[in-house]
């Protein structure tokens, strides 16, 4: 036997003994049955319908505690998204560019604003509206869905998202879906 093996033998023996001991310890919590006695759950090889073991202990005479009261639901919080100063300036610039007949430059300006505030649904709505105005209806719907994803808690931003989706669906003659999207927009707008 090598010197290294002889040094490892006591450690291996200790590990083996520890794993045997941890494998043998089993805790069984008492279960109360309708007869008023507590007993341990069936052990290995014992059927669950078997009579209670010999060491049954009478249940303590205690009044049952009332069921726990669930915690109150968190209040529904509403939020309202706003544009920051830089994003607001870029959106105003995009409006001027679109009104001046340069929608591609307007899209670039809003995309710059999105690099500043990528999680702001209002910017996605703005970008979708420019795409809608230029006839890119699929992109407009995609921007509306992205805005809807981000607009959690803001019924006005959600309503504007659904309105954009409805407009893009109408433009593609998907009137049934457009009516449903518009209904959702109107419901949220009433909040």
Looking at residue 158, its pLDDT comes to 95
Which stretches of the chain are DSSP H helices?
Answer: 3-24, 85-99, 103-116, 121-133, 137-150, 155-171, 175-189
Does the structure show a pLDDT above 90 at 145? Answer: yes
Over the stretch 41-62, which tens digit does the pLDDT of each residue have? 555 555 555 455 555 555 556 5
Q: Give the distance, in angstroms, between the CA of residue 176 and the centroid of all CA atoms in the same chain.
A: 30
CATH of region 85-189: 1.25.40.10
| 79 or 166, higher pLDDT | 166
> What residues does each domain of the chain span?
85-189
Over the stretch 154-174, which tens digit does the pLDDT of each residue have? 999 999 999 999 999 999 999
Q: Is the pTM of this model over 0.75?
A: no
Phi then psi for 38, rounded to 5 degrees? -105, 140
CB 41 within 8 A of CB 26: no
Predicted confidence band at 184 (pLDDT cuts at 50, 70, 90)?
very high
Does the structure show a pLDDT above 70 at 111? Answer: yes
> What average pLDDT is seen over the chain?
78
């Amino acid at each position: 036997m090598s010197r290294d093996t002889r040094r490892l033998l006591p450690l291996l023996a200790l590990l083996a003994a520890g794993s045997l001991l941890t494998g043998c310890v089993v805790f069984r919590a008492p279960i109360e049955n309708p007869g008023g006695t507590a007993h341990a759950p069936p052990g290995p090889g014992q059927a669950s319908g078997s009579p209670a073991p010999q060491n049954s202990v009478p249940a303590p005479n205690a009044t049952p505690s009332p069921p726990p009261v669930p915690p109150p639901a968190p209040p529904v919080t509403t939020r309202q998204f706003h544009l920051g100063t830089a994003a607001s300036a870029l959106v105003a610039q995009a409006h001027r560019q679109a009104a001046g007949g340069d929608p591609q430059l307007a899209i670039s300006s809003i995309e710059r604003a999105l690099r500043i505030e990528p999680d702001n649904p209002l910017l996605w709505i703005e970008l979708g509206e420019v795409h809608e105005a230029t006839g890119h209806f699929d992109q407009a719907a995609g921007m509306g869905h992205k805005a809807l994803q981000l607009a959690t808690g803001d019924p006005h931003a959600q309503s504007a998202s659904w309105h954009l989706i409805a407009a893009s669906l109408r433009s593609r003659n998907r009137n049934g879906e457009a009516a449903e999207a518009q209904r959702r927009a109107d419901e949220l707008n009433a909040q």
